[in-house]
Amino acid sequence: MRKKERRIVTIGLIVLFAAIAWWAYNGGFGSGGFVDLSNTLSGDTSTTETYQLAIADLAASVDQATGHVLVTFSLTNAEHFNISSVEVLYALNVADPNNATYTTLNATAENSTYKAEIPSKFGDLVYYKVKVTYDGDKVLESEVQSITVTDTTAPTLNSVSIDYNSTALTFAISFNATDNDQIAKYYVYWADLGTSNTVSNTTTFTPVEATTLPITIANLTEGNYYAFYFKVEDLSGNIATLYNETAPLIIQANSTATWPVVVPEQSSS
C-alpha cells in the first residue's frame, strides 16, 4: 500500500474510533449517561432508584367537643427507610414559636395516616411541627404550623323558667343551657303589651343582659301581658335563641296562675 493510501486509512480509522467513542459516551442516539454494553447484551435492564422521605398532607383540625387539636399527616416513601420515631411537637400561646420549648407527642399510624392529639383548649394558639427520626440519627422536620382553637358550636338552650312574684311584681327568669366550652352571657328581651296579648310592628323589646342567674324583670303590672324571647352566648360568640321578636313567648302576670312557667327548647321558632 502506498504511503498516501495508508495515510487515508489511518485518518479513517481515527474518525471511526472517535465516532464510536462519542456514540458510547452519549448512550447511542438517545439521551442519558453511559450505556453499559455488557448489561445490554446480557439482558440486564435493572436501574438504581433514589427515594426521598417527605412529610405530606400535614393538616390540623379542632375537636369541637373537647377543644383539642388533631394533627394528621403521611410520610412519602416511608417503606424505603428505617424509621425509628414519628413525633408531633407543640407549644401553646408562645410569643416566639422559633425559640419556644415544645412538648413531644408520639404519632400513631392508621392506614398510612399518622395522627396525634394536642391537649389544647378553646382560645389557644397552637404551634406544631412534625419530627421524623430515621436511618439511625437522621432527622426530618417540618416547618412550624399554627392554628387558633376556635369554638364554632353554638350553645344548647334547653329551657327557660319564669317565676312570678305577685307581691313584688317581678319576674325571675332562669335558663337551662349547656355549651361545649362555657356560657358567657344570658339575654332576656321583653316588652309590656298592656292588656293586649299580641305583638305588632310597633312593639319595642327591652334587652337585659346578665352573666349570672336569675334575671329579674321588675315594675310589672298585675294582669298585663308580657312578650319575651331569649338568647345565650358562649365565650366564642356563638348564640342560641329561644323564641324571637316576631314570634315571642307571651304570658300574663296573673297571681292566680301556676308558677313557675317552664318553656322547653321545642317551643322555639
Is the pLDDT confidence value at 209 over 50?
A: yes
User: Which residue's entry shows cell 346578665?
Assistant: 210
| Final residue of a structural domain among 94, 123, 148 | 148
Q: Is 131 exposed, middle or buried (0-12, 13-18, 19+ CB in 10 A)?
A: middle
Residue 190, judged by CB atoms within 10 A of its CB (0-12, 13-18, 19+), counts as buried
164 & 250 share domain:
yes
203-241 as b/e: b if 16+ CB within 10 A: eeeeeeeeeeebbebeebeeebbbbbbbbbbbebebebb
The pLDDT score that the predictor gives to residue 28 is 45
Single residue among 96, 129, 148 that ends a domain in this structure: 148
Asked if residue 121 lies in contact with residue 36, where contact means CB atoms within 8 angstroms, the answer is no
Q: Which domain holds residue 190?
A: 156-267
Can you give the CATH number for the domain in which 136 is found? 2.60.40.10
The share of the chain scoring above pLDDT 90, in percent, equals 80
Shared domain check, 263 and 163? yes
* Alpha-helix runs per DSSP H in the chain: 3-25, 37-42
Residue where a domain terminates, one of 92, 114, 148: 148
63-89 mean pLDDT: 97
Could you tell me if residue 81 is inside a domain? yes
Confirm whether 144 is domain-assigned: yes
What pLDDT does residue 41 have? 46
Each residue of 112-125: pLDDT tens digit?
Answer: 999 999 999 999 99
pTM equals 0.71
Tally: H helices and E strands in the chain: 2, 18
Residues 222 and 246 in one domain: yes
Q: What is the pLDDT of residues 132-174, one digit of tens each?
A: 999 999 999 999 999 999 999 999 999 999 999 999 999 999 9
pLDDT in tens, 18-64: 656 554 455 444 333 333 444 444 555 566 789 999 999 999 999 99
Tell whether 16 is covered by a domain.
no
The number of distinct structural domains making up the chain is: 2
In a domain? residue 104: yes
- Spell out the SS3 assignment of 209-266: EECCCCEEECCCCCCCEEEEEEEEEECCCCEEEECCCCCCEEEECCCCCCCCEEEEHH
